[in-house]
Amino acid sequence: MINNFQPSFGYRNHKTAVNILIVINIAVFVIINLLRDISWMMYLGLVPSLVISRLMLWQLVSYLFVHAGLWHLVLNMLMLWMFGTVLEQSWGSKRFVIYYLFTGIGAGICSIVFAHNSAYPVVGASGAIFGLLVAFAIMFPESVILLFFIFPMKMRYAAMVLAGINLLGALSNPGSGVAYIAHLGGGLFGYLYFKNEAIRFVLSRFSISRWQESIKQKKQVKQKQEIVDINRRVDEILDKISMHGIDSLSKKEREILEKKSKL
């Protein structure tokens, strides 16, 4: 999984998945703050109790694009740009987006597992960002970054330090409002991605076009079955007309004949 690709932050292509993700995050932040309606946080953020009790499964993705404050947004988008740009250059946009969502959803799943009764929303892309840090540390372990924008440190050690800080925070101050478990969960799913070939194979097979084709095929099968059912009902209705006249038909039977004529 480690290659000889040299990280470069001078990516000139502006139509990248990273830039699109940044634009979406900023747009969602602006819209939510213009509406000034806290219910959006409960609807789009990850609320573990709602995901379980009301099957609000979309929150496993939508929470990645909701941020609690300006600095929360700025820091996450800066990290996404710094590390995501290099990974997208190395992998390509499709694989990058799949990995980003995989770690982000994984972070959300970990939050639900450890706080399934919580009614407080988890928001932000931090879990997916931590997944990017893990990927960067595995692919470019000797790269030097400024940890906290101050301390120069090799990426392999920086990732360990950040994981340790989050683990300590999760154990010592679980009610602080910081989603330590989500951060660790994103890192864990990122690590599993690199260490488990089966996970990489399954994710590599994912395709929007293939998914759309599958839905189309299922829809066609459903339509064919519906036509078969209608034809059977029409035969029964025609027999009834021949025996008792058209006036004997019920409203529903007339609707079936009308639907048949349209088909």
Domain with 23 in it: what CATH number?
1.20.1540.10
Query: How much is the pTM?
Result: 0.72
Answer yes or no: are the C-beta atoms of 45 and 121 closer than 8 Å. Answer: yes
Q: What is the pLDDT of residues 224-251, one digit of tens each?
A: 777 777 777 767 777 767 776 676 667 7
Domain identity same for 202 and 226: no
Crossing angle of helices 180-195 and 155-172, in 10° steps, is: 140
Domain identity same for 235 and 194: no
**Nearest to 191, CA basis, from 242, 138, 236, 251:** 138
> What mean pLDDT, rounded, does the chain reach?
81
Is residue 64, in this structure, part of any structural domain at all?
yes
Boundaries of domain holding 233: 211-262
Is residue 224, in this structure, part of any structural domain at all?
yes
Side chain identity at 60, as an amino acid letter?
L
Catalytic residues: 126, 183
Could you give the C-alpha distances from 112 to 37, 50, 61, 108, 183, in angstroms and in order? 24, 10, 13, 6, 13
Instruction: Check residue 4 and give its pLDDT.
Output: 42
Answer yes or no: are the C-beta atoms of 61 and 104 closer than 8 Å. Answer: yes
What are the structure tokens assigned to 227, written together?
């036509």
- Using alpha carbons only, how large is the chain's radius of gyration in Å? 26
What are the structure tokens assigned to 131, written together?
């997944």
- Burial tier of 79 (Cβ tally within 10 Å: 0-12, 13-18, 19+): middle
Instruction: Check residue 262 and give its pLDDT.
Output: 67
What are the structure tokens assigned to 39, written together?
């219910």
Domain identity same for 62 and 135: yes
* Low pLDDT (below 70) residues in the chain: 1-14, 38, 173-178, 206-217, 234, 240, 244-245, 247-249, 257, 260, 262-263
Is residue 165, in this structure, part of any structural domain at all?
yes
Answer yes or no: are the C-beta atoms of 218 and 114 closer than 8 Å. Answer: no
Domain tally for the chain? 2
Side chain identity at 113, as an amino acid letter?
V
User: Kind of pairing, strands 144-147 and 151-154?
Assistant: antiparallel
Domain identity same for 158 and 50: yes
Domain identity same for 76 and 170: yes
Backbone angles phi, psi at 60, to 5 degrees: -65, -20
- Polymer length of the chain: 263
